[in-house]
Structure 1
């Protein structure tokens, strides 16, 4: 594989579109009963924030006339205000959202049940005052696809709210400063320069062009615990880590392994299609190499331009070449177009497969019946798997800070990143510094975000070797691969 991660290809492709992902679209939500089932406990919060009729939350200073600093939007979250020029809103009060909010105990507690380090010797430093620890979250909010990674900011705020509701680190609550990288490397650099001055660490960040801020983060020794990393420059930054680790050159084996076992004949007549934008072509070549080494036979390898509206010729090629298994890398909006063209021409392969980009409520709605039977591969638990108590917490607190927000892949890993920061900082106690946090992160192995996702080698920055395969039918996703996850040796994509 190229030195660019597969996720970057997806993100870059999506950014080439002119439509909004609509992350605030409706999706399934937790019932009050489910919220109350997190370890069987609830707690009364500190005040009574509720959602407003326009979907905003009291305390979000982006709402004209709003000044309720104790509201849910302020819960561990910064003011969303103006984020032009890569700068973001100021850090908010960090108060917890009010009303009954889900709580956990033991490993599900906000501190992970870790033994807190002694606070002896704790010192205020950049981003730390007598009352607060400021965390920066840098994400693509404005730009070609408005709100594309808003879910990462929502999830980081949500975890800060959860933590602040019952905990502190040596007397300090968490504030989250929201910064906008605008889908631009320059804006990412600008945002991280500001984070260096304002924040103790960056947590849960997500950007398609995150190379820009890599040098800034490293130059000021800023610990950066991202949702995921999308460029090799970010991965090579010595103070930068990610809840979802990626090692360029290696491909997760779960999906190709599954289809070799399920329908080997289909894998001998496969197609690799991809959006022809950014690094997608190079990454698609890596996928083809990896799948071939796994035992597939790829008969059709083709890029599709971002501006393409006529998918009929590509579908005709699939038919003419006798393709039985189609894989596609690109934004889900283009997936919808491809599926429509396949339906119009009466072409139905034995399997249509994409990564977790389509594991999204918005894709389900837009694809409609054409989405029936499609497969997605993922490295996370399913969003409605409430047997995982951490999923209950994520969903419940996400709804606290942004009522109606839709959980997604990037948000889940941002929540995981926030938990990782809290657990490490809690254990360090009075020894907490930027340098000590970075040193601790280097030793993190098999991180699962308390059961939300496959084991990630955060310190080693190595691609995970496990995943699952999901299938969509009648508007509902179901895991079809056996066991919890499929695992195996990583595939070489070079």
Structure 2
């Protein structure tokens, strides 16, 4: 299975393709970030009192007490990280660790959380070492914050067993996505799905219901995503045309026969759950040469400079991408996006959508931790997180419901023309289209997890996990 496809699914079907600054040498799989005024490599405290529309949760205070693992009078130690050391895909999801590193520095420059400095253990799970990383985190961290490990399913039993809560940057495995003591700023649960792209396309194109088909793949991961989309489309009244285009995940000797099949079938709109790679580019170029002119409805993995730089010949001019994040082109209208870019670039990090996702996760955690004051315990933070039912990361993305593990009921559409992405729906830049129809229930056959009445995975669940207390 291609790792970029795993990384795409890891972001929950609406994420982007897959060097945090540290003050010490690498130690095992963790790097220790001091996080003081110089801990972020000279990070400037941009808009210290706010992050976008969000009042900063960071600042001075007099919090005291060794209230839980990783908490002292003076510091809070959290874990975070990515898979950047994976040999087959160097730098995998490094934008996530880069973002949290920058946010720790930003927060500490304001005084930390209620006066406690944030210290970060930055982990490199390198794709295959997530279980090892989790066992390290279990011994030393207060919580995990903003991390993205593609093989988190392998680590989930260790996380649950040691009762380590997480505000994840993303989750991949179904049991991790629905696990206990797990919150996400941008949830992608297995039982609910944001279908903003198809909903917006249906409003924009009058023949969308009759002229849409799905590009299929031999990849099991892509097939799982496609099956969910197919089920959602049928629920919306869209019956795929079934042109029969199934691409070999390992590549094809020629893509022209597939392009000709698309042209003969007469598909006007093509949906793909696949990621941008040379094979996908070859298909679109072949479709162009064959004289077909469909519009493409692709997932947010396609919103990238990799795609816009490839599109010199215009074969990608029909690419439309549904998103719940504000595109970078809207930075002049959305202060949170501009602030994220500035903070990460000043920290010499990588800027990408997954980085914004990790940033939002950090802010969600910090906001909950700040509410706990001196009584900073895992139980208190979970209580606060469970009460958070509208979250935008200061304007980075559409409103989500982290407390109930529910996705956004909104979306926007961007279109590629030449090497430029531009928001085309809604027309008001910086705004989202919203409605109950943007979220649908998925077929339980696609879940990959057995859930209890609280929508929590039963697989690793124990009686002593930390549960939200309502009183």
1:331/1:236 Cα in 2 relative to 1: closer, same or farther (>3 Å)?
Answer: same
Tell me the secondary structure at the aligned position of residue 308 of structure 2. Answer: helix
Tell me the secondary structure at the aligned position of residue 211 of structure 1. Answer: helix
Is 1:327 the counterpart of 2:325? The answer is: no
Residue by residue over 1:276-306, the C-alpha shift from the partner in whole angstroms, topping out at 9 and shown as x without a partner, is 3233212211211211221223112544222
Match 2:124 to one of 177, 180, 183: 180
Q: How does 1:437-448 map to 2 (within 5 A)?
A: 437-448=381-392
Distance 2:10 2:180 in 1: 24
Alpha carbons 1:13, 1:277 under 8 Å: kept = no
Q: How does 1:293-312 map to 2 (within 5 A)?
A: 293-300=235-242, 302-309=245-252, 310-312=254-256
Residue of structure 2 in register with 1:48 after alignment: none
Residue of structure 2 in register with 1:67 after alignment: none
Q: Give the drift of 1:338.
A: 2.2
Residue of structure 2 in register with 1:69 after alignment: none
Range 377-386 or range 267-276, more displaced: 267-276
Residue of structure 2 in register with 1:470 after alignment: 414
Q: Give the drift of 1:268.
A: 0.9
Alpha carbons 1:97, 1:165 under 8 Å: kept = no
Alpha carbons 1:271, 1:327 under 8 Å: kept = yes
Match 1:213 to one of 155, 163, 166: 155
Match 1:134 to one of 77, 99, 103: 77
Tell me the secondary structure at the aligned position of residue 264 of structure 1. Answer: coil
Residue of structure 2 in register with 1:346 after alignment: 291
1:294/1:446 Cα in 2 relative to 1: closer, same or farther (>3 Å)?
Answer: same
Residue of structure 2 in register with 1:88 after alignment: 30
Residue of structure 1 in register with 2:342 after alignment: 396
Distance 1:257 1:394 in 2: 29
1:364/1:426 Cα in 2 relative to 1: closer, same or farther (>3 Å)?
Answer: same
Residue of structure 2 in register with 1:63 after alignment: none
Q: Give the drift of 1:493.
A: 3.5
Report the TM-score, using the length of structure 1 for normalisation.
0.79
Q: Give the drift of 1:137.
A: 1.1
Q: Give the drift of 1:235.
A: 2.2
Tell me the secondary structure at the aligned position of residue 370 of structure 1. Answer: coil
1:397/1:475 Cα in 2 relative to 1: closer, same or farther (>3 Å)?
Answer: same
Alpha carbons 1:9, 1:280 under 8 Å: kept = no
Residue by residue over 1:163-182, the C-alpha shift from the partner in whole angstroms, topping out at 9 and shown as x without a partner, is 11222224321222221222
Report the TM-score, using the length of structure 2 for normalisation.
0.82
Gaps spanning 5+ residues in structure 1: where?
1-6, 15-20, 24-55, 61-72
| Count of residue pairs brought into register by the alignment | 422
Tell me the secondary structure at the aligned position of residue 403 of structure 2. Answer: coil
Residue of structure 2 in register with 1:29 after alignment: none
Alpha carbons 1:226, 1:417 under 8 Å: kept = yes
Residue by residue over 1:303-324, the C-alpha shift from the partner in whole angstroms, topping out at 9 and shown as x without a partner, is 4222113322322221121111
Alpha carbons 1:274, 1:284 under 8 Å: kept = yes
Distance 1:220 1:306 in 2: 38
Tell me the secondary structure at the aligned position of residue 343 of structure 1. Answer: helix
Alpha carbons 1:80, 1:88 under 8 Å: kept = no
Gaps spanning 5+ residues in structure 2: where?
444-471
Is 1:159 the counterpart of 2:108? The answer is: no
Tell me the secondary structure at the aligned position of residue 367 of structure 1. Answer: helix
Tell me the secondary structure at the aligned position of residue 373 of structure 2. Answer: helix
Residue by residue over 1:61-107, the C-alpha shift from the partner in whole angstroms, topping out at 9 and shown as x without a partner, is xxxxxxxxxxxx23xxx757366xxx222344543443755224346
RMSD: 2.7
